[in-house]
Structure 1
Amino acid sequence: MSAALPNEFAGPSGAVSGHRRFWRRLVWALVYPQRGQRVRMTLPGAVLVALSLGVGLAAYNSANNILFITLSLLLACLVLSGVLSWLNLSGVRWRLVAEPPMRAGQAHPVVLELLNAKRVLPTYGVWFELKSTSLAKAERLDLRERLDAGGEARLDWTVRPARRGKEVLSLEAVGSLFPFGFLRKTFPVRLTRELIVWPAAVEYRRFPAALWERAQPGRALARAGGGAELHSLRRYAQGDSHRAIHWKATARLGRLMVTRRAADGEDGYSLWLRTPAEVWTRAEQFELLCGLAATLAEDLFRAGRLLLVAINDEAPMAVRRVADLEAFLDAVALVGPLSENGGARSDSAGVKMEMKLKRKNVLIFAPEGARGVAAYVDGEKAASA
């Protein structure tokens, strides 16, 4: 099987164009199958083989031509089943479609798209073995309907990532029982998709030191700002000023978009995630840190209060659009504990980083006990999980 790019269809190597090349490839595949290809006998196939042996012994002992003809027909059915199962998959193309992002602990839909590129023959009785990083063994998806020549089909698969990081989705094998069900033919496949899994959202407790209100998903900014700093864009709602319409974004997205600006004197926050290995020694506590940082970043962004984000010694990044927030969450999904020589800052370097952030309200994190994580704003406890 050939590998493919994420947006391209892949298929069996036996599917080639040209009449002569097709038959040459077919004969060669039957004589010398590719590595990893498995042919297993089903129960009807075992019965057919036993029946063939019985008829063959009877024909040999009796020298009956009718029994020899019967034996040849039985063996021909067995061989024809293998040939037609090969033809059944020839010309079939497939690809994995999964839209990022994925989040740990949540079900994520994945679609296996199929295309029958053959001109005449349909495809029946095909199944696919899919596997992901979070699964101990492969799952099987069956094509229960006929796939006509030139037709397309979609098979739905649900993936639930166990933890943040990279999730590798792979199509391990494709099998066919068509047409008689005597042989179970399986072809190996090398088709993978790699997606980033964001940390799971965590519940946290807020303290009076936190000056923001935790916004619910989809909730707009509580009071409109008239300052000069642009926070984000949102869809036009009845009652919005026409002066706030962002015409470039409206033309690009095809719907009215308005700007949200910070009100004069409104506090914004900078989030700084530090991951020194000597501080975060427990794996479970580190995962909670990543989940809390991601959750606070999303809540502050919805409230229009997230201005800058930074991870360890990386340069601070302004958060003005959803794409900026997604880039930060991607980085949090892949971050790990860093040794002192691996990029974690010392105390003096931390002061320089705070000066780089150029904000008074810098949100940092520290362990709380053996399992908890606390967030601090200017030395005061703001939240804990």
Structure 2
Amino acid sequence: MPRRRMLTLRGTGALLAGIGCIVAANLVGAAILLYIGLLLLALTVFALIAVRAPRRSGSVTRQVSTDLITVSETSRVTLRFALRALRVPRGLWRDVLPDAVSGDAAGEYPPETGQLTYLLTGVRRGVWPIGPLMLRTVDPFGLAQREQAFGETRTVTVVPEVFTLSPLTVKVGAAGGTAQTSSSRLGQGSDNLSPRGYIPGDSMRRIHWRATAHRGQLMVRQEEEESSPDALVVLDRSAARWRKTEGEADPAFEAAVSLCASAAVHLMHEGYGVDVIDSAGALLGTLRGHEDDRDGLLVALALVTPRGDARDLAALVGGTPPGPLVYITGEIDEEDAALLRPAGAAAPMLFASGPLAGAAAAAAQHGWRVATLGDDIAGAWDDALPDRVSTAPVEPERSADGTR
């Protein structure tokens, strides 16, 4: 954050003019120029003392109207600024904002309402600091200025935008999209499953805490008694699929993250239990119908970046296939698409931001519904929906005489 100069442009001009008058007075022997020069220098020094000498301290508290700010969403920030000084200065305040958010975070001080407020809009997902609060004051002559920082920074989390998607045309999966199952392929079984002893390598998510407390040793749920999740969303964030950028967001990857969040939230609202993982098998979030689950997933997706390599999809799915399977990837060629097997999923949907020639056809041969992911996320979802199953009654054909 660049520091402002102590003198304004007017103050710098007054200082230079004063020095020039003193030099000219010595050259031409005009006493009036000497007086004018000394007056300008005295005014400049007085202005500096007036703005720099007073001791000021203060505290800042910020309150954001929403805990999580969605990309393109606007929230209100309220600042309470308690300034301790001999007198209340008049000047301009501004809150330091990163490029990832936008807002008119400036105004006159002191405000008429007694509070400092402004609107904040998310521009790029991530966790970003806002602040400190800067107070800029100028002397009555406009020659000197002082900008002082108050308070600490506060972080705001900008999460990907969640779009409204069209409903699935058919209900698929073990629960048919009508209930949230409590068990999970990733180790969330119900408490009445038969436990067994912990073996090194077992996931900590599979620990049966009630049985552990009863027996005094770590117990885990039986793997064969765990039911699969209703839906699975996979975000392929392997580095080879995405364009490398230096400090800038890749629009294709941002669209993929937004689709990942939208698809997971949409499937949850349709009644499915949803697991969201990346292409390496790391769990990004689980949705079982709770608002906290949704927020946890969005926070995880706010920080996700392209990295690593992808694992085989069949290994990610496991032995029991899910119902809806959403796979989101970037640039994919025909050979890579041919290796993507939906592993028995009832409704596999493949989204690629950069499918090369032959990739869509190769994936379709394995049963994928393929769509190209661009700016229109909802449109891409519609393109990949499974074929509609007609439920309307069929009207009998009429004979020539009008009878049925």
Q: Which TM-score tier does this pair reach, normalised by the shorter chain?
A: 0.5 to 0.7
SS at match of 1:39: coil
Equivalent residue in structure 1 for 2:294, among 309, 325, 328 = 325
The higher radius of gyration belongs to 2
Q: Which residue of 1 aligns with 2:74?
A: 107
Matched, 1:176 2:137: yes
Alpha-carbon deviations, 1:156-200, whole Å to 9, x = none?
233323232333434485422134321133346795333222112
Following the alignment from structure 1 to structure 2, what is the Cα–Cα distance between the partners of residues 202 and 228?
25
Match of 2:373 in 1: 371
Partner residue in 1 for 2:116: 155
Partner of 2:282: 314
On the 8 A contact 2:101/2:124 being kept in 1, the answer is no
Q: What does 1:228-307 align with in structure 2 at a 5 Å threshold? A: 269-277=230-238, 280-281=241-242, 283-302=250-269, 305-307=271-273
The CA distance in 2 between the partners of 1:318 and 1:62, in whole Å, is 85
CA distance in structure 1 between the partners assigned to 2:57 and 2:142 by the alignment: 20
Aligned with residue 106 of structure 2, among 133, 141, 149: 141
Cα 1:50–1:285 change in 2 (3 A) is closer
Task: Report the Cα distance in structure 1 between the residues aligned to 2:181 and 2:251, rounded to whole angstroms.
Answer: 42
Distance 1:88 1:139 in 2: 29
Contact 1:104–1:163 (Cα < 8 Å) also in 2? yes
Amino acid at match of 1:143: E
1:185 aligned partner, one-letter code? R
Query: Which position in structure 2 is the counterpart of 1:219?
Result: none
Distance 1:94 1:38, change over 3 A: farther
Query: Could you tell me which residue of structure 1 aligns to residue 386 of structure 2?
Result: 381
- Deviating more after overlay: 180-189 vs 101-110: 180-189
Task: Specify the SS of the correspondent of 1:182.
Answer: coil
Contact 2:57 2:150 in 1 (8 A): no
Which has the bigger relative contact order, CA under 8 A and spacing at least 6?
A: 1
Among 46, 61, 64, which residue is 2:13 paired with? 46
Gaps of 5+ in 1: 2-34, 213-222, 231-267
Deviation (angstroms), 1:326: 0.2
Q: Which amino acid aligns with 1:142?
A: G
Q: How far is 1:324 from its partner?
A: 1.7
Name the TM-score, length of structure 2 as normaliser.
Answer: 0.54
State the partner residue of 1:255. Answer: none
Decide whether aligned partners of structure 1 residues 209 and 95 sit closer, same or farther in structure 2, where only a CA change above 3 A counts.
Answer: same
Partner of 2:90, secondary structure, is coil
- Does the CA-based 8 Å contact 1:210-1:382 persist in structure 2? no
Task: Give TM-score, length-normalised by structure 1.
Answer: 0.56
Indicate the residue corresponding to 2:50 in structure 1.
Answer: 84
Give structure 2 stretches of 5+ with no counterpart.
184-228, 244-249, 328-349, 352-369, 389-404
The answer for the alignment partner of 1:240 in structure 2 is none
RMSD over aligned Cα atoms: 4.6
1:328 positional shift: 0.8
Counterpart AA for 2:110: E
